[in-house]
Amino acid sequence: MKKSAPEHFNAIAGRYAASEVHAASPTIQRLHELLGPGQLDTVCEIACGPGYLALSFAAKAKRVIGVDAAPNMLRQFEKLAGDRGLKVEAVQALAEKLPLPSNSIDVVVTRLAPHHFSDPTKALQEMARAAKPGGRVAVIDLEGYEDPKLDDLNHELEVLHDPSHVRSYSASRWRDFFDAAGLVIGTFESGHTEMPGGLAVSRWCEIGNTPQASQKMIRAKVAAATAEQISGLGIRFQNDEIYIPVRTLVVVARKD
Ligand SMILES: C[S@@+](CC[C@H](N)C(=O)[O-])C[C@H]1O[C@@H](n2cnc3c(N)ncnc32)[C@H](O)[C@@H]1O
C-alpha cells in the first residue's frame, strides 16, 4: 500500500537532514531579505522536516517552533538545534490541523512541503489563523506549470521520484490558496531554483530513497521528452547525467 507523506518521510528523515538541497538555498536567503531585519517574538515552520528554515530564524526570533507530522523529522530538528546550542519547540501535528493558538505567531513559514499536503487550502488557512494580525505567512514550494501538458510531465517525474508527492501547484493555484486564506500577498516571485546549476537526478533519487526501477523510468521519460518540454522544464544534461532545476516560488503575505 502507498505510504502517506508523513509515513514516507518518517522512514527517511536522516536523508533529508543530510540533504544539501534542504540545508540551504537561495530562496531561504531571499525570504530573509523580503522579511527584513526586525526582531521577532515567535517564528513557526510548518512541515519543518529537519528544520533548516526554522533554524535560520534563531538569531532573529525569541521562540522558534517546528511543526511536522513525522516524529523522526522532529528528532532531526531537535538534534540539529542541539548541535548549534539552540532551544527550539518541536510539535507533532498535521499542517491541516495545527495545535497552535490563533493570532499567536509573527511569521509562519513553510518550505518544500505543501506539495505533499492532502489539503493545501486548509493548511494555508491554518497558517493564517495562527499568524498574528499584521504578521506574515510565507511559502517556498515546488512550482508547477501553467501549461497543463508540461505540468503533467513534471507531475509524472515527481511521483516517480516520490509516490507521496501530491501536486506541485502553479503560480495561479497558489494565488487562489492565498486568497482563500484571506491573506494579502505582498511579494509573489515565481521561477526560483533551490539549486543553481541544477540537481543531478542520481542525487535527487538518493535523497528521496527512490527505487532504482523508478529512477530508470525517470531517465526514460526525460529521454522521450521533446526539446520543447526539456527546455520548458529547465532540464539540462552534462556528462550523461540529467540535472533538474528544483523550481520554486516564494510568496510572502500579510494577515490584516
Ligand atoms: C521535503 S520535506 C521538507 C522539510 C523542510 N520544510 C525543508 O525545507 O527542509 C517535507 C516535510 O513535510 C512533512 N509533511 C508532509 N505532509 C505533512 C502534513 N500534512 N502535515 C505536516 N507535515 C507534513 C514531512 O513529514 C516532511 O518532513
Determine the distance separating the centroid of ligand 1 and the alpha carbon of 138, expressed in angstroms.
Answer: 15
CB-based contact 254:182 (threshold 8 Å)? no
Atom of ligand 1 nearest to the CA of 49: 27
For residue 46, give Cα distances in angstroms to 221, 230, 233, 238, 245: 33, 32, 28, 36, 24
**pLDDT at residue 2, rounded to an integer:** 78
pTM score above 0.85: yes
Atom of ligand 1 nearest to the CA of 6: 25
Determine the distance separating the centroid of ligand 1 and the alpha carbon of 135, expressed in angstroms.
Answer: 22
**pLDDT at residue 238, rounded to an integer:** 97
Residue identifier of the C-alpha nearest atom 14 of ligand 1: 47
**pLDDT at residue 249, rounded to an integer:** 98
Determine the distance separating the centroid of ligand 1 and the alpha carbon of 227, expressed in angstroms.
Answer: 33
Pocket test for ligand 1, best of 8, 44, 72, 73 (most atoms within 8 A of CB): 73
CATH topology of domain 5-145+164-195+247-254: Rossmann fold (3.40.50)
DSSP per residue over 150-213, as a string? HHHHHHHHHHHH-TT---PPPHHHHHHHHHHTT-EEEEEEEEEESSTT-EEHHHHHHHHT--HH
Instruction: Please indicate whether residue 66, judged by its CB atom, sits closer than 6 Å to ligand 1.
Output: no
CB-based contact 66:44 (threshold 8 Å)? yes
Within 8 A by CB and 6+ apart from 238, the residues are: none
Query: In the 8-state DSSP scheme, what is residue 114?
Result: G
Instruction: Please indicate whether residue 48, judged by its CB atom, sits closer than 6 Å to ligand 1.
Output: yes
Could you give the 3-state DSSP secondary structure of residue 253?
A: strand
Residue identifier of the C-alpha nearest atom 9 of ligand 1: 22
Determine the distance separating the centroid of ligand 1 and the alpha carbon of 255, expressed in angstroms.
Answer: 23
Orientation of helix 148-161 relative to helix 201-208, angle to 10°: 60
Atom of ligand 1 nearest to the CA of 93: 21
Specify the pairing of strand 105-111 against strand 184-193.
unpaired
Instruction: Please indicate whether residue 157, judged by its CB atom, sits closer than 6 Å to ligand 1.
Output: no
Instruction: Please indicate whether residue 122, judged by its CB atom, sits closer than 6 Å to ligand 1.
Output: no
Give the span between the Cα atoms of 212 and 109, in whole angstroms: 33
**pLDDT at residue 147, rounded to an integer:** 98
Residues in a beta bridge with 205: none
Query: Which residues, given as ranges, of the chain have pLDDT below 70?
Result: 1
Instruction: Please indicate whether residue 111, judged by its CB atom, sits closer than 6 Å to ligand 1.
Output: yes
Within 8 A by CB and 6+ apart from 105, the residues are: 42, 43, 44, 65, 130, 131, 132, 135
